[in-house]
Amino acid sequence: MTPRILFLDHVGVLGGGELSLLDIARHFAAGSRVLLFEDGPFRDRLEAAGVVVEVVTAPASVSRVRRAGGTMQALRGLPGVLKLARAVARRARSYDLLYANSQKAFIVAALAGRWTRRPVVWHLRDLLDAAHFGNTQRRVVVGLANRWAACVLANSEATATAFVEAGGRAEIARVVHNGIAPEDFVEVDRAGVEALRDSLGLRGAPVVGVFSRLAAWKGQHVLLDALASLPEVHALLVGTALFEEEAYAAALRRRAEAPGLAGRVHFLGFRDDIPALLHLVDVVAHTSTAPEPFGRVVVEGMLAGRPVVATRAGGVLEIIDDGMTGLLLAPGDAGALARALHDLLASPEKARRIAAAGQAVALERFSLSRMLEQIERHIEEVLNAIK
């Protein structure tokens, strides 16, 4: 029987975690519901996919709690968390299991699950290390997980390891890499791609793309640095500042106006036509300066048959075999990025070989069906344990 799942996520925007949950919630849609703590485009995408969605808006004190925030900020958020947990608990009795897709959602789910005796699965999509989160936040979420999570699905070995290093119990952690629907990425309408290239004024130009929200740790500035020594190359920065990184985005825009770069950096904002844009570029660059928990864009670039140059850290090490299925570089090394881009643009044969090998690996190891099977199995295991 299909389990009835109450999915929880604290945001309404479309980050990688939300796009992944979209696939998962669609799969379990019968009898399930997604509860969001904020309205936004994620709601529309879920509804269009036939998923029942409800928005229970988080009190401002909860929305204000930040990744690096201290104990005081966390305490101020507590009454709001309890209020959300009560709202979730009122609904939880109609479901077999609570499935939290973000840290804030997990904190709320842990309390509601405890009160209503519903098992809680936490899909952990963040690397709980000091580069990304403050001590308070890590202590709180890991402590709750150890006591009250039936299982923690980590989006990579790197994420699972960081969870354990932060004090998490290894017995409850399971690695589930993101799976991505290949049909969206492998083949696209060629004429549409050419029209897109023309509309951006890029006919005949070598183009590199970064497909990530604009955020300091996503490292778009590293590509701008690299571009300075690649005078012919254009860059597409695809994505917007989703989580209050407007200052970084503004700094990038100013930087892109500098002599030597002006006219070669194209800010496309948030786009829904990622597959076509991937096919437009010659190389996909992943530039995160802190370890990437997983990195959907890396797999998507590979599926689209592009050579991918990525940062050697975090989950990316589980996706790319350096020199074979992509190229790996030290985080923040703009010189190495410039050399790798030059190399791939100057050696189309090499670029094609890497892209083809990357595509084969992405199709085999990161399919959506494989991820959904794994999640089904883990959910079944959790439900069997409480029978």
Stretch touching ligand GLC by CB under 6 A, among 53-61, 292-300, 322-330, 333-341: 292-300
Q: Select the span of 59-67, 70-78, 267-275, 305-313 touching ligand UDP (CB under 6 A).
A: 267-275
Q: Residue 201: name the closest of 279, 259, 264 by CA.
A: 264
Decide if residue 294 touches ligand UDP (CB under 6 A). yes
The answer to the question of residue 366 lying near ligand UDP (CB under 6 A) is no
Among 27, 125, 197, 221, interactor with ligand GLC by CB under 6 A: 125
Token pair in block for residue 323: 């020199």
Q: From CA 37, how far away is CA 12, in angstroms rounded?
A: 7
Name the binder of 213 from ligand UDP, ligand GLC, none, CB < 5-8 A by kind: ligand UDP
Q: State the number of binding residues for ligand UDP (CB under 6 A).
A: 18
When binding is defined by CB under 6 A, the residue of 104, 132, 213, 306 that contacts ligand UDP is 213
Tokens 């029978």: give the residue: 387
Residue from 12, 16, 219, 301 binding ligand UDP (CB under 6 A): 16
Alpha-carbon span 219 to 309, nearest angstrom: 13
C-beta of 81 vs 320, nearer to ligand UDP? 320
**239 interacts with, out of ligand UDP, ligand GLC, none, CB within 5 to 8 A per kind:** ligand UDP
Q: What DSSP string runs through 107-125?
A: HHHHHHHHHHT--EEEEE-
Q: How many CB atoms lie within 10 A of CB 245?
A: 18
Token representation of residue 296: 């959907």
Q: Is 318 in the site for ligand GLC (CB under 6 A)?
A: no
Q: Phi/psi class of residue 214: alpha, beta or left (left: φ > 0; alpha: ψ in -120 to 50)?
A: beta
Q: Determine if 212 is a binding residue for ligand UDP (CB under 6 A).
A: yes
Which 16-55 residues touch ligand GLC, going by CB under 6 A? 16-17, 20
Q: Are strands 327-329 and 308-311 parallel, antiparallel or unpaired?
A: parallel
265 strand-pairing partners:
235
Work out how close the CB of 293 gets to ligand GLC at its nearest, in angstroms, rounded to a whole number.
Answer: 4
Q: At what angle do helices 334-346 and 220-227 cross, to 10 degrees?
A: 60
Contact 162, 129 (CB under 8 A): yes
Minimum CB separation from ligand UDP for residue 238, in Å? Answer: 5
Residue 217 is a binding residue for ligand UDP (CB under 6 A): no
Q: Would you tell me which residues interact with ligand UDP (CB under 6 A)?
A: 14-17, 19, 211-213, 238-239, 270-271, 274, 294-297, 300
